[in-house]
Amino acid sequence: MKKRVFLTRRLHEFALKKLEKEFEIEIYSGKIPISEKKLQDKIIDVDGLICFPYDKISKKTINIASNLKVISTYSVGFDHIDIEYAKEKKIRVGYTPDVLTDATADMAFSLLIDLARRTSEGDRLIRNGKWREIFGAYDYTGIDLKTKTLGILGLGRIGKALAKRANAFDMKIMYHNRNRLSDLEEKKLNVKYASFSKLISSSDFLSIHVPHTIETDKLFDMKIFKKMKNSAFLINTSRGKVVNEKELIQALKEHVIGGAGLDVFENEPILKNNFLKKLNNVVLSPHIGSSTKETREKMAEITVENLKRGINGKKPIFSVGY
Ligand code: DGY
């Protein structure tokens, strides 16, 4: 009998074909992410699970799936999975790093340029028939990127790729990381190390590239926003929960900081009445950091391979925990 695999969303056809060859698969077809309860009902006797960053894989869910051998997430982030518990239960967890580094760095940089040059704001202005109101010499100015300071919190794969892009635009680059890079690497990347508080207070653009953990949960709150320049822009393509969204909204409303470019949110999809949608100094994108055709195909390939290995008792190509 074929082993059973549940997918919380559709993957590319080529990936589904590969799965169907070996497994009996079921795909959730709902428009919005599957609820935790429904997911629990679906995975009672599956051998493998393919999930996405917005699917919470809790201890309770893992316990319900008593046959589960592998969780393969279509993402580099795995904060939605109780990794410690999966490890305890000897369930493999696969994820998809590396392949999405450039796409996510591009996304962060595109939010940065958008904020600097007010691209999305201009788009809204034209659509709202207000172009006639901005013909003055001082109207609708953005800012140059050259010589502005980009602060990168978390200089891992994506942070480094972002630094490469910022260098091409003659920005000054500071970073803060748990581990400082070697002198040689700092030189190569043209980045300067700074303490967290120096990074916060000196950046014109501050881009977050740390995972969501107990230590980083709601790390960016009003206390931090007040230490930032009031012209500074916050960019987040990592995880929404690293930012206290309620306090960010307040900081943006009161111009405590200059603006924000957000690809990730506390709740995804954001709630209908989220006030961020009303703010002009914010650029929003629907968690599409890794979403290029090429990258998503590579992610699908790795997700399938991780699943296949894990279901057969092997370590996934990219594995976390057990
Ligand atoms: C990831 O892979 O974790 C990204 O956030 C998805 O875009």
Of the pLDDT bands very low, low, confident and very high (cuts 50, 70, 90), residue 137 is confident
Ligand 1 midpoint to CA 133 (Å): 39
Residue 74 alpha carbon, nearest atom of ligand 1: 2
β 92-94/319-320 pair status: antiparallel
Which atom of ligand 1 lies closest to the CA of 75? 2
So what's the pLDDT on residue 133?
A: 84
User: Is the CB–ligand 1 distance for residue 209 below 6 Å?
Assistant: no
Q: What's the CA-to-centroid distance between 74 and ligand 1, angstroms?
A: 8
User: What pLDDT does residue 90 have?
Assistant: 96
**Angstrom distance (rounded) from CA 253 to CA 229:** 15
Phi-psi region of 9 (alpha: psi -120 to 50; beta: other; left: phi over 0): beta
Structure tokens at 247: 């306090």
Cα 237 to averaged position of ligand 1 atoms, centre (Å): 8
- Spatial CA neighbour of 7 closest among 38, 41, 67, 48: 48
Is residue 279 within 8 Å of residue 252, measured between CB atoms?
yes
Tokens of 93: 């967890």
Ligand 1 atom at minimal distance to the Cα of residue 290 = 7
Domains of the chain, with CATH numbers?
Answer: 3-99+294-311 (3.40.50.720), 100-284 (3.40.50.720)
pLDDT over 90 at 135, yes or no: no
Q: Is the pLDDT of residue 322 over 90?
A: no
| pLDDT tens readout for residues 40-50 | 999 999 999 99
For ligand 1, the distance from its centroid to the CA atom of residue 195, given in whole angstroms, is 27
Compute the distance between CA of residue 292 and CA of residue 25 in angstroms, rounded to an integer. Answer: 25
3-state secondary structure 74-97: CCCCCCCECHHHHHHCCCEEECCC
Q: Considering only CA atoms, which residue is closest to atom 4 of ligand 1?
A: 75
Question: In 3D, which of 211, 210, 234 has the Cα closest to residue 221?
Answer: 234
- C-alpha to C-alpha distances, 307 to 42, 63, 66, 157, 301, nearest whole angstrom: 17, 19, 17, 24, 10
Q: Quickly state the pLDDT bin for 156 (edges 50, 70, 90).
A: very high
Residues 39/8, Cβ–Cβ less than 8 Å: yes
Q: What is the mean pLDDT of residues 135-156?
A: 94
Encoded amino acid at 130, one letter: K
Residue nearest to atom 3 of ligand 1 (CA): 77
Q: Ligand 1 centroid to 47 CA: how many Å?
A: 24
> Peptide bond preceding 269: is omega within 30 degrees of 0, i.e. cis?
yes
Q: Assess whether pLDDT exceeds 90 at residue 39.
A: yes
Would the CB of 287 count as within 6 Å of ligand 1? yes
Residue range 48-93, pLDDT digits in tens: 999 999 999 999 999 999 999 999 999 999 999 999 999 999 999 9
Q: 240 in ligand 1 pocket by Cβ < 6 Å?
A: no
Q: What is the mean pLDDT of the chain?
A: 97
This model's pTM is above 0.85:
yes
Q: Where are the beta strands (DSSP E) in 134-218?
A: 149-153, 172-176, 192-193, 205-208
Q: What pLDDT, on the 0 to 100 scale, is given for residue 134?
A: 82
Token pair 């201009």 is found at: 122
* 237 close to 108: Cβ distance less than 8 angstroms: yes
Closest ligand 1 atom to residue 291 Cα is 7
Between CA 54 and CA 85 the distance in angstroms is 18
Buried b (16+ CB within 10 A) or exposed e, 221-234: beebbeebbeebbb
77 lines ligand 1 (CB under 6 A): yes
Active site residues: 239, 268, 287
Give nearest CA residue, ligand 1 atom 1: 75
Dist. CA 238 → ligand 1 center (Å): 7
- Does residue 174's CB lie within 6 angstroms of at least one atom of ligand 1? no
**Mean pLDDT of the region 141-147:** 96
pLDDT band, very low/low/confident/very high, at 114 (cuts 50, 70, 90): very high
Q: What's the order of all strands across the beta sheet hosting 70-73?
A: 23-27, 3-7, 48-51, 70-73, 92-94, 319-320
User: Residue 76: CB within 6 Å of ligand 1?
Assistant: yes
Q: How confident is the model at residue 257 (pLDDT cuts 50, 70, 90)?
A: very high
Is 290 close to ligand 1, i.e. is its CB under 6 Å away? yes
Report whether residue 97 contacts ligand 1, using a CB cutoff of 6 Å: no
pLDDT at 178: 93
| pLDDT for residue 159 | 98
- On whether the CB atoms of residues 73 and 96 are closer than 8 A, the answer is yes
> Could you give the CA distance from residue 176 to residue 268 in angstroms, rounded to a whole number?
27
Q: What is the pLDDT of residues 291-313, one digit of tens each?
A: 999 999 999 999 999 999 999 99
End-to-end CA gap in the chain: 26
